[in-house]
Structures are given as structure tokens and as C-alpha cells.
Amino acid sequence: DAEITQSPRHKITETGRQVTLACHQTWNHNNMFWYRQDLGHGLRLIHYSYGVQDTNKGEVSDGYSVSRSNTEDLPLTLESAASSQTSVYFCASSDGRGEKLFFGSGTQLSVL
Amino acid sequence: QKEVEQNSGPLSVPEGAIASLNCTYSDRVSQSFFWYRQYSGKSPELIMSIYSNGDKEDGRFTAQLNKASQYVSLLIRDSQPSDSATYLCAVNPQTGANNLFFGTGTRLTVIP
């Protein structure tokens, strides 16, 4: 069955370190998204991609970057982790013909 | 200004009752509206989508859309304890991007 997987499920890091969260989907979807979820803020879009070599900033992109070298993967990199980036991160994908998002299981990131 | 507003709740209803969840949005040109359900510690999953004014029914769920009032709601009939979750309203602002803006969610508890 097609799926979208995130790794790791939990990550603890220190401020200033570079961190990369992985996202891999086997739906063959063109569109991929990274959201963060915090209490009181709901899901907020960080970055998104509509295809290979395409990346775009979302509403909370500062301090994050993504790259899309193939259809299946959209890794999210925190260049220099900050405590404000402690959050639950969700990767999602869609086929572009509708807006149904398929979400991964999430990554709980703690920056100490 | 937030794109999508929801009452954070919590909303408690007895088993068998109707649960009513509400959402307002700020972008008048928005065309696509969605309700996602998120169980504690899990990822969101789509339960309803609606694109036209009026009601859309799917089993025990009914989505209602009023574009003039910029209002979308979700009714859950015959509420079950398994409906206890956070319900996220999402809107596609249709600004040329295939992105969704999410509300902060309403936590629903169905009391047996």
C-alpha cells in the first residue's frame, strides 16, 4: 500500500545544531508539504513543493529549508535549531487534482 | 489576521447527541473547505470536503457552507465516544497555490 513515512518519530537536539527531518512518500504525488503544529497555532505551513526541483516558502519558513531532488522525498532542514522550533512536524502530500492531504505520522522535535 | 478561526473548545456532548463545530474564514474568494479529524498523538485525516453553498452529507457527518457569511460548519449526528478528537477546519484560499490554511482546531469529547 502507498504511504508517507517520516523519520525520526522523536528527536532531541541542542540549540545551534543542524537537524534534518525525513519525509518519504510512495503515492507518487507531485505536491509535498511540511507543517508544524503547536498549541494555540494549529497547523502552519513551513515549505512546500509542487514537483522535482520546485520549492516554495510557506508562512513560517524562517530557519528552515527544503530540497526536492526526486518525487518521493522532501527533507526538512533546520539550519541552526532554536528552542522556538520545538514542535510536532508533519509532512503531507497530495496528488494535485484535489486538495486531500495525506499526512505522515509526525516528528516530535525538542530543541534544548 | 488569522485566515481561519475556530472555537478551541473543548466541546462536550453526550453520546447520541448532535455535535456542532464552527469555522469562519477571512479570504472571501476561498473556494475549497475541509474538515480533518485528529486523534490525540496522531496525524490529521480528512473526513469531509465541501465546495458549494449548502449542505453535504456523508453518513453521520454533515458539512454546511455559507460563502456569503464566510462560514463553514460540521455537524456530527448520533455522536459516539470514538468521535472524541480534535477537528480541524481547513481552507484553500485559491491564490494560485494548492495550499491549505488550518484553524487551531476544536477539541470534541463525547461522554458515554
Residue B61 contacts A, CB cutoff 8 Å: no
**Cβ of residue A58 closer than 8 Å to a chain B Cβ:** yes
pLDDT band at A95 (very low <50, low <70, confident <90, very high): confident
Indicate whether B104 pLDDT > 70: yes
pLDDT at B2: 54
**What is the Cα Rg of chain A in Å?**
13
Residues of chain B in contact with residue A42, where contact means CB-CB under 8 angstroms, are 4, 88, 102-105
Residue A27's alpha-carbon distances to A31, A56, A77, B27, B49, in angstroms, are 10, 21, 22, 31, 20
- Torsion sign, CA atoms B19, B34, B2, A92: positive
What's A100's DSSP letter?
Answer: P
Write down the pLDDT at residue A72.
97
Measured between CA atoms, how close is B27 to chain A, in angstroms? 16
Distance separating alpha carbons of residues B53 and B68, to the nearest angstrom: 9
**Facing A96 at nearest CB: one of B4, B98, B100:** B98
pLDDT over 90, % of chain A: 85
Q: Is pLDDT of B98 > 70?
A: no
Cα separation values, A100 from A66, B33, B64, B91, Å: 22, 10, 18, 11
- Mean pLDDT over residues A69-87, rounded? 97
pLDDT at B71 over 70: yes
pLDDT digits (tens, 9 = 90+) for B11-50: 999 999 999 999 999 887 777 899 999 999 999 999 999 9
The predicted model gives B70-83 an average pLDDT of 96
B97, B98, B105: residue with CB nearest A42: B105
Q: Is B30 within 8 Å of B42 (Cβ atoms)?
A: no
3-state SS class at B82 = helix
Cell output for A4: 508517507
* Confidence at residue A49, expressed as pLDDT on a 0 to 100 scale: 93
Q: What is the mean pLDDT of residues A31-38?
A: 95
Mean local confidence (pLDDT), A69-79 = 97
Percentage of chain B beyond pLDDT 90 is 76
Q: What CA–CA distance (Å, rounded) separates B73 from B68?
A: 14
Q: Mean pLDDT score of chain B, rounded to an integer? A: 90
Residues of B whose CB is below 8 A from A50:
98
Q: Is the pLDDT of residue A98 over 70?
A: no
Tell me what pLDDT residue B53 has. 93
- Per-residue cell: B53: 453553498
Q: Testing the interface with B: which of A39, A43, A54 to mutate, by most B Cβ within 10 A?
A: A43
Is B46 or B3 the better-scoring residue by pLDDT?
B46
| Helix H or strand E encompassing B23 | strand B19-25
pLDDT over 60 (residue B1): no
Taking the C-alpha atoms of residue A94 and residue A98, their distance in angstroms, rounded to an integer, is 7
